């Protein structure tokens, strides 16, 4: 797509979104009861067509912030008129009607129908406003205790459905908190305003790895259109990647979901995490959609969405621009689906790293279908350490567009993240059965396709179809292929020298 066509596309895209926002604000509260805050603002029918986030121009954070503000403003007015509003039939019907898994071998409709029956709330939903528990929301006072009291009250309720409300136009300052289950009710956290992380590093003395943790929960939902702000600047400047004189230490993940089942995270903006933004650990049946994740391109280790030991997770209609992987998928994860992903700045969409410290690692059944990557340091990456063992298999990347991406396609079985060269090892995580289909765009580097595979465990059963990558200037790009076995290659440029 040329620059003029892209410009026209952006104007058209923003015009459509603006009309949707105006329409949403003019519609009665009753009509909005059946839709979540950002529904309809992203188009599910055009995989891979979400426009990228441009870090240098700074366009999308401002635009998306205004989009959120318009949606949340309308819903907050309705809530103030009727506190039970938004909790009557708030289920997002688009999650179930016409749902498409993008995998012909799987059929999740039954699971979605069951989930809908569970979370469709009635008028009996209890609403717990954090202000009623003493929260100030002035960005000065510590509101941690008020949030904990609201959680304990909602979680212990036997009313069937409870909702914790974080009001709009306020900033709630929180120290590290753990919101634990199992709860006696079906619970949701509705963030309309902003939750801000404490910037006092001493507040994290008991646990420097986590800020907000949601643990052991079933049928839990986080939504509302508000913002989760990790205030990570103080942590970034103390990172060993920024200040080489400092030791490398952990920094908190902004939002961690641990051992949660039938989880929904949607319509939320997570920004400036201390380290990772959103992490799903040992979760089953996760829907993550309409999420915006933003941090400066040079912020260290600020992965957007991190998936570890999680099964059956669907990530869709999500915009991520950070200083590390937009999406990282690591050991123990399987049946991962991601589509309509916008990525950039950042390190691309990564499987791994796997096998660190000679460990065993397994990732399988991953589909990335429909993504736009802009000015990322990697595009579609599989990375494994030497010396590890296990497998990364049955992986599909398709319908992906890239602009000025370094390393658009890369498999690196010799990944090394230290200054001095890593020791050569014979053991390796086996990479096999990977398909790249309909991958197009421009490469910032000379080598657009790179398979740096293990001599002892070559990459096996790799497929390339309809791949067309050129340099940013339009000149031909190169391919580097070592220890890789292809089973099918069709309509590919650049080609490996031996093919």
98 CB-contact burial (10 Å; exposed 0-12 / middle 13-18 / buried 19+)? exposed
266 contact partners, CB below 8 Å, separation of at least 6: 36, 38, 92, 221, 222, 223, 287, 288, 289, 290, 291
Question: Are 232 and 295 contacting, i.e. CB atoms less than 8 angstroms apart?
Answer: yes
Q: Give me the catalytic one of 210, 277, 347, 362.
A: 347
Alpha-carbon distance of 309 to 352, in angstroms, equals 12
Q: Is 249 helix (H, G, I), strand (E, B) or coil?
A: coil
Q: Which residue(s) pair with 354 in the sheet?
A: 384
In order, the DSSP letters of 158-225 are -SSEEEEEE-TT-EEEE-SEEEE---SSEEEEEE-SEEEE---GGGGSS-TTEEEEEES-BS-EEESS
- For residue 371, give both structure tokens: 């993504």
Q: How many CB atoms lie under 10 A from the CB of residue 261?
A: 17
Alpha-carbon distance of 367 to 399, in angstroms, equals 11
Alpha-carbon distance of 349 to 104, in angstroms, equals 23
428 CB-contact burial (10 Å; exposed 0-12 / middle 13-18 / buried 19+)? buried
Alpha-carbon distance of 432 to 201, in angstroms, equals 43
E strand or H helix that includes residue 278 = strand 278-281
**102 assigned to active site:** no
E strand or H helix that includes residue 119 = helix 109-119
- For residue 288, give both structure tokens: 């993550």
Alpha-carbon distance of 230 to 278, in angstroms, equals 11
Residue with tokens 């986030």: 53
358 contact partners, CB below 8 Å, separation of at least 6: 385, 387, 388, 389, 425, 427
- Give the Å distances, CA to CA, from 245 to 237, 238, 241, 377, 450: 11, 10, 9, 25, 33
Q: Which residue(s) pair with 123 in the sheet?
A: none
Q: Which residues are catalytic?
A: 347
């Amino acid at each position: 797509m040329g620059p003029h066509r892209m410009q026209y596309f952006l104007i058209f895209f923003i015009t459509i979104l603006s009309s949707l926002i105006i329409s949403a604000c003019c519609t009665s509260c009753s009509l909005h009861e059946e839709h979540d805050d950002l529904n309809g603002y992203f188009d599910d029918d055009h995989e891979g067509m979400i426009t990228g986030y441009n870090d240098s121009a700074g366009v999308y954070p401002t635009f998306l912030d205004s989009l959120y503000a318009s949606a949340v403003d309308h819903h907050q007015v309705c809530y103030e008129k009727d506190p039970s509003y938004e909790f009557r039939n708030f289920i997002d019907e688009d999650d179930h009607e016409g749902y498409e898994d993008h995998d012909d071998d799987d059929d999740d409709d039954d699971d979605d129908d069951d989930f809908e029956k569970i979370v469709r709330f009635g008028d009996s939903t209890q609403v717990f406003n954090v202000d009623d528990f003493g929260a100030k929301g002035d960005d000065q006072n510590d509101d941690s205790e008020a949030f904990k009291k609201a959680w304990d009250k909602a979680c212990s309720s036997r009313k069937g459905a409870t909702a914790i409300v974080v009001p709009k136009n306020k900033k709630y300052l929180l120290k590290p908190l753990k919101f634990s289950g199992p709860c006696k009710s079906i619970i949701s956290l509705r963030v309309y305003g902003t939750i801000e992380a404490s910037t006092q590093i001493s507040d994290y003395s008991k646990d420097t790895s986590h800020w907000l943790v949601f643990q052991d929960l079933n049928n839990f939902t986080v939504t509302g259109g508000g913002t989760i702000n990790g205030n990570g600047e103080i942590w970034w400047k103390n990172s060993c990647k920024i200040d080489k004189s400092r030791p490398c230490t952990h920094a908190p993940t902004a939002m961690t979901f641990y051992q949660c089942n039938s989880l929904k995270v949607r319509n939320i903006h997570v920004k400036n995490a201390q380290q990772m933004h959103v992490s799903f650990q040992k979760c089953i049946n996760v829907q993550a959609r309409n999420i915006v994740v933003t941090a400066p391109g040079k912020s260290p280790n600020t992965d957007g969405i991190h998936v570890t030991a999680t099964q059956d997770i669907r990530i869709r209609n999500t915009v991520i621009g950070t200083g590390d992987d937009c999406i990282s998928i690591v050991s123990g994860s399987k049946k991962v689906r991601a589509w309509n992903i916008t990525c950039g700045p950042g390190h691309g969409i990564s499987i791994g790293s796997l096998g660190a410290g000679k460990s065993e690692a397994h990732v399988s059944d991953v589909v990335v279908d429909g993504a736009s990557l802009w000015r990322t340091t990697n595009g579609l990456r599989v990375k494994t350490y030497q010396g590890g063992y296990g497998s990364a298999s049955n992986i599909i990347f398709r319908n992906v567009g890239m602009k000025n991406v370094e390393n658009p396609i890369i498999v690196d079985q010799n990944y090394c993240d230290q200054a001095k060269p890593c020791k050569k090892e014979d053991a390796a995580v086996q990479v096999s059965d990977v398909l790249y289909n309909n991958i197009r765009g421009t490469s910032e580097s000379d080598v657009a396709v790179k398979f740096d595979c293990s001599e002892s465990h070559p990459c096996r059963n790799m497929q390339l179809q309809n791949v067309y990558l050129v340099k940013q200037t339009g000149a031909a790009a190169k391919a580097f292929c070592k220890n890789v076995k292809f089973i099918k290659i069709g309509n590919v440029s650049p080609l490996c020298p031996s093919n």
